[in-house]
């Protein structure tokens, strides 16, 4: 095939995920830690309480760990290739062993008492109290009042009440990555500042209390419900906080988070939201024709006319005008990892600069024997890198001392070598190369991508989500979604070009160390033409029993739509659990603690076109499709994914 044509075809396919160039948390560790502690205590439980407790644990996800060692990890009937290919893509398809419901579609009020959704007619003020669009990374947090705060304190009288509540109500933190103007505004470009504000308020994060009532998950009025969007006050912490590169001549306070794609969690119960393609929202009116991109701006792809999405915020909101001298450096305030406390509606989101500035995608963690915590993070762009952040001290000691483990630590970037080995290259002034380029860590961190270039990191095929297998010394998986432009292979990115992506599995010698072993787990193109067919892996999770949840974003082969698949980590068998609709992306993974309920997202169904799909509404050809969460349960009440 003519190579140029081939590249164009592949580019067109990849452009199916137009922006796009999303996390997962693997487990709600704080809860699990408590659960484990409770399990250790159960031997001392007596009489009817003991039997009630045993019944509870038998009904929890924990018991299946033992089963998994002797049987297949998946026994559900998959959505077959034939059924999937026969569909018209207007409604999702689901394994016959599962049930689903939809939840929190874009535009619904975040509390039942809030402003009602009106198709393309809500005001920006209303949108600021409604679910955003572009549902992506998310996590389900049991309410603190439903958790046993101190596992050493016996909880007897309301034991059952507490445990069962955590599986039937909680706080959903959910990212709203993006929504094009056509979908959000019903027009191709904003025509006023009000239009821009509607768009800005549709971006960001929602914290929404959801409860299972009468067998249906619903939103409820809550002291914790809130929207965090592009105009919400935020703070900076870590080495770059207060740096001149984060100050503007206008002196405006730091506001907002945008293009929140993948997510992470922390063992101390907070939510991490990842800022990805923030460059798209900036452009330049350039009336004086003086704006040209700096090398750093160029490295992030800033352009006078913006990039994808035609957002044109800069035409109406000077903060996003790269050529406005009052707002020099405003763009440096984006591209960070942002920490949110879901249990405190007054908590100001914190941009953790020690974790680097790039197109963040995911932050899966594991703790080493030395107590230091490591977060693995992708930078999703063609030829960009895989990063790791490690806390300076054991994270629990830091928390006890009132220091965030996310503020004091070391950032590394990965170099993959032949033979399945790799090393983490330190991004600090300890490296003479970097000491020669940057005068302080703040400057280095704002310039993370350029610093990683300078130390010789391995250019990857778009690192998307990361997922770790265990809370201590876990193995990590990372999705490499695709790379149509790769012309030269390296050990970890062997396909030229890489139209459909692959997944790498790696294990640090110790999470706080600098060497690791790696292997290629799956190559998507190898599945084409089979029941296991998938392309463009993006969202990723590893559940308690080790199953790998793979979500896709891009043109699927064999007549498929984007999908959720479950893979056995040992046999590499793959089963299709859910397939989405025309034009969408499947992303975001969360669970209730007992693993009886999973949540995933259908992002940009039909790209807003009602002739493509009306999901989650019934097919009628006219209703604007809306991003939404899909709740998945097994019909037999079993562990999700099994």
Residue 637 DSSP one-character state: S
Query: Closest approach of Cβ 585 to Ca ion, in Å?
Result: 7
The H or E element containing residue 333 is: none
Q: Could you tell which of Ca ion, ligand FEO, none binds residue 254, using a CB distance below 5 to 8 A set by kind?
A: none
Residue among 276 and 341 whose Cβ is closer to ligand FEO:
276
Minimum distance, C-beta of residue 307 to ligand FEO, in the bound complex (Å): 13
The length of the chain is 642
Q: Does 22 bind ligand FEO (CB under 6 A)?
A: yes
Specify the 3-state DSSP secondary structure of 621.
coil
Q: Which stretch binds Ca ion (CB under 5 A): 20-28, 36-44, 139-147, 525-533?
A: 20-28
Q: Does 378 bind Ca ion (CB under 5 A)?
A: no
Q: Which is nearer to Ca ion, 126 or 538 (CB)?
A: 538
Task: Work out what residue 630 binds among Ca ion, ligand FEO, none; the CB cut-off runs from 5 to 8 Å by kind.
Answer: none
As measured in angstroms, the least distance from the Cβ of 136 to ligand FEO is 6
Closest CB 362 distance from ligand FEO, rounded Å: 9
**Minimum Å distance from CB 356 to Ca ion?**
18
Which stretch in 15-23, 206-214, 314-322, 391-399 sits in contact with ligand FEO by CB under 6 A? Answer: 15-23
Q: Is-contact 162 148, C-beta < 8 A?
A: yes
275 near Ca ion, judged by CB under 5 A? no
Q: ω before 469 within 30° of 0 (cis)?
A: no
Is the distance from CB of 481 to CB of 537 less than 8 angstroms?
yes
Name the minimum Å distance from CB 545 to ligand FEO: 27
Nearer to ligand FEO, 603 or 642 (CB): 603
> What are the angstrom distances between the C-alpha of 106 and each of 24, 129, 202, 223, 302?
21, 11, 8, 21, 28
Stretch that binds Ca ion, among 64-72, 384-392, 548-556, 616-624 (CB under 5 A): 548-556
**Measured from the CB atom, is 21 or 354 closer to ligand FEO?**
21
* 38 touches, from ligand FEO, Ca ion, none (C-beta below 5 to 8 Å by class): none
Cβ distance 361 to 464 under 8 Å? yes
The answer to whether 306 touches 282, Cβ cutoff 8 Å, is: yes
Closer by beta carbon to ligand FEO, 229 or else 243: 229
Q: Which does 177 bind (CB under 5 to 8 A by kind): ligand FEO, Ca ion, none?
A: ligand FEO
For Ca ion, give the closer residue by CB, 146 or 380: 380
Q: 373-379 and 386-391: which strand pairing? A: antiparallel
Write the interaction track for Ca ion spanning residues 455-484; mark x where CB under 5 A is met and - where it is not.
Answer: ---------x--------------------
Identify the residue whose tokens are 């101390």: 268
**Residue closer to ligand FEO (CB basis): 373 or 540:** 540
**Interface pattern 549-568 for Ca ion (x via CB under 5 A):** ----x---------------
Alpha-carbon span 61 to 637, nearest angstrom = 11
Choose the contact partner of 379 out of Ca ion, ligand FEO, none; CB within 5 to 8 A by kind: none
Lookup result for tokens 């994060």: 205
| Long-range contacts of the stretch 438-445 (C-beta < 8 A, 24+) | 440/239, 440/243, 441/239, 441/240, 442/239, 442/240, 442/241, 442/242, 442/243, 442/245, 442/246, 442/353, 443/240, 443/243, 443/245, 445/238, 445/239, 445/240, 445/353, 445/354, 445/356, 445/357, 445/411
Is residue 293 classed exposed, middle or buried when 0-12, 13-18 and 19+ CB atoms within 10 A define those classes? Answer: middle
- What residue number has its CB nearest to Ca ion? 22
Of 111, 538, 543, 545, which one interacts with Ca ion (CB under 5 A)?
A: 538
Q: Please state, as a whole number, how many other Cβ atoms lie within 10 Å of the Cβ of residue 485.
A: 15
Min. distance of Cβ 178 from ligand FEO in angstroms?
Answer: 8
CA atoms within 13 A on the CB side of 231: 15
Counting contacts by CB under 6 A, is residue 20 touching ligand FEO? yes
Decide if residue 276 touches ligand FEO (CB under 6 A): yes
Q: Segment contacting ligand FEO (CB under 6 A): 17-25, 39-47, 246-254, 317-325?
A: 17-25
Give the span between the Cα atoms of 260 and 205, in whole angstroms. Answer: 7
Is the distance from CB of 366 to CB of 472 less than 8 angstroms?
Answer: yes
- Residue 276 binds which one of ligand FEO, Ca ion, none, with CB within 5 to 8 A depending on kind? ligand FEO
Residues 208-232, buried b or exposed e (16+ Cβ, 10 A)?
A: bbbebeeeebebeebebbbbbbbbb
> Which of 126, 146, 177, 584 touches ligand FEO (CB under 6 A)?
177
Q: Which is nearer to ligand FEO, 479 or 592 (CB)?
A: 479
Spatial separation of the C-alpha atoms in residues 180 and 312, rounded to whole Å: 11
Tokens of 509: 């010698």
- Only one residue has tokens 């992470």, namely 264
User: What is the size of the binding site for ligand FEO (CB under 6 A)?
Assistant: 10
Q: Report if residue 361 touches ligand FEO, rule: CB under 6 A.
A: yes
Residues 237-266 that bind ligand FEO (CB under 6 A): 261
Q: Please identify, using beta-carbon distances, which residue of 181 and 263 lies nearer to Ca ion.
A: 263
**Residue 188 and residue 198: Cα distance in Å, rounded?**
14
Q: Tell me which residue has tokens 């709600």.
A: 28
Residue 461's binding partner out of ligand FEO, Ca ion, none, with CB under 5 to 8 Å set by partner kind: none
Q: Does 384 bind ligand FEO (CB under 6 A)?
A: no
Sites for ligand FEO among residues 443-472 (CB under 6 A): 464
Segment contacting Ca ion (CB under 5 A): 56-64, 179-187, 280-288, 547-555?
547-555
Three-state secondary structure call for residue 223: coil
Min dist CB 282 to Ca ion, Å, is: 20
Which residue, 64 or 556, is less far from ligand FEO as judged by CB?
556
First to last CA, the chain: 42
Residues near Ca ion (CB under 5 A) are 17, 20, 22, 464, 538, 553
Residues near ligand FEO (CB under 6 A) are 20-22, 177, 261, 276, 361, 380, 464, 538
């Amino acid at each position: 095939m003519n190579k140029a044509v081939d590249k164009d075809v592949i580019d067109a396919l990849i452009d199916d995920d137009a922006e796009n160039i999303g996390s997962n948390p693997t487990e709600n560790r704080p809860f699990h830690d408590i659960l484990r502690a409770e399990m250790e205590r159960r031997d001392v439980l007596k009489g009817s309480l003991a039997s009630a407790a045993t019944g509870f644990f038998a009904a929890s996800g924990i018991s299946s760990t033992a089963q998994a060692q002797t049987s297949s990890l998946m026994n559900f009937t998959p959505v077959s290739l034939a059924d999937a290919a026969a569909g018209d893509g207007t409604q999702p398809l689901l394994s016959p062993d599962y049930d689903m419901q939809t939840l929190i579609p874009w535009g619904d009020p975040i509390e039942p008492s809030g402003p009602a959704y009106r198709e393309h007619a809500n005001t920006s003020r209303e949108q600021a109290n409604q679910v955003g669009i572009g549902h992506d990374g998310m996590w389900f947090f049991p309410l603190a009042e439903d958790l046993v705060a101190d596992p050493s304190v016996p909880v007897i009288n309301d034991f059952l009440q507490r445990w069962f509540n955590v599986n039937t109500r909680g706080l959903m933190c959910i990212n709203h990555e993006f929504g094009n103007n056509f979908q959000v505004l019903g027009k191709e470009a904003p025509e006023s500042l009000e239009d821009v504000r509607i768009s800005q308020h549709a971006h960001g994060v929602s914290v929404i209390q959801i409860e299972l009532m009468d067998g249906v998950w619903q939103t409820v009025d809550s002291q914790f419900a809130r929207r965090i969007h592009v105009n919400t006050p935020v703070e900076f912490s870590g080495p770059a906080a207060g740096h001149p590169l984060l100050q503007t001549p206008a002196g405006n306070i730091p506001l907002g988070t945008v293009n929140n794609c993948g997510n992470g969690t922390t063992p101390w119960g907070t939510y991490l939201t990842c800022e990805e393609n923030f460059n798209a929202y900036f452009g330049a009116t350039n009336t004086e024709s003086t704006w040209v991109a700096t090398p750093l701006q160029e490295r992030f792809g800033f352009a006078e006319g913006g990039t994808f999405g035609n957002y044109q915020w800069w035409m109406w909101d000077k903060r996003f005008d790269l050529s406005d001298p009052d707002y020099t450096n405003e763009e440096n305030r984006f591209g960070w990892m942002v920490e949110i406390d879901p249990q405190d509606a007054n908590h100001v989101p914190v941009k953790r600069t020690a974790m680097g500035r790039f197109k963040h995608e995911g932050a899966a963690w594991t703790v080493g024997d030395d107590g230091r915590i490591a977060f693995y993070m992708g930078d999703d762009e063609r030829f960009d890198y895989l990063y790791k952040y490690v806390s300076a001290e054991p994270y629990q000691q830091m928390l006890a001392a009132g220091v965030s483990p996310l503020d004091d630590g070391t950032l590394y970037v990965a170099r993959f070598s032949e033979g399945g080995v790799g090393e983490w290259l330190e991004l600090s002034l300890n490296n003479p190369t970097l000491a020669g380029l940057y005068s302080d860590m703040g400057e280095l961190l704002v310039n993370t991508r350029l610093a990683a270039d300078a130390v010789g990191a391995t250019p990857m095929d778009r690192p998307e989500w990361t997922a770790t297998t265990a809370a201590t010394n876990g193995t990590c998986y990372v999705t490499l979604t695709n790379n149509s432009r790769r012309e030269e292979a390296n050990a970890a990115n062997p396909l030229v070009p890489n139209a459909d992506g692959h997944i790498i599995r790696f294990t640090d010698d110790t999470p706080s160390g600098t060497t690791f072993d790696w292997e290629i787990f799956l190559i998507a193109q190898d599945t084409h033409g089979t029941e296991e067919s998938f392309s463009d892996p993006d969202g990723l999770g590893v559940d308690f029993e080790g199953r790998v949840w793979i979500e896709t974003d891009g043109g699927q082969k064999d007549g498929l739509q984007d999908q959720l698949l479950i893979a056995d980590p040992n046999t590499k068998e793959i089963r299709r659990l859910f397939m989405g609709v025309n034009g969408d992306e499947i992303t975001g993974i969360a669970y209730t603690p007992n693993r009886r309920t999973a949540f995933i997202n259908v992002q940009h169904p039909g790209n807003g076109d009602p002739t493509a799909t009306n999901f989650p509404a019934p097919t009628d050809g006219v209703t604007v499709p809306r991003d939404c969460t899909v709740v998945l349960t097994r019909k037999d009440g079993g562990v999700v994914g099994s």
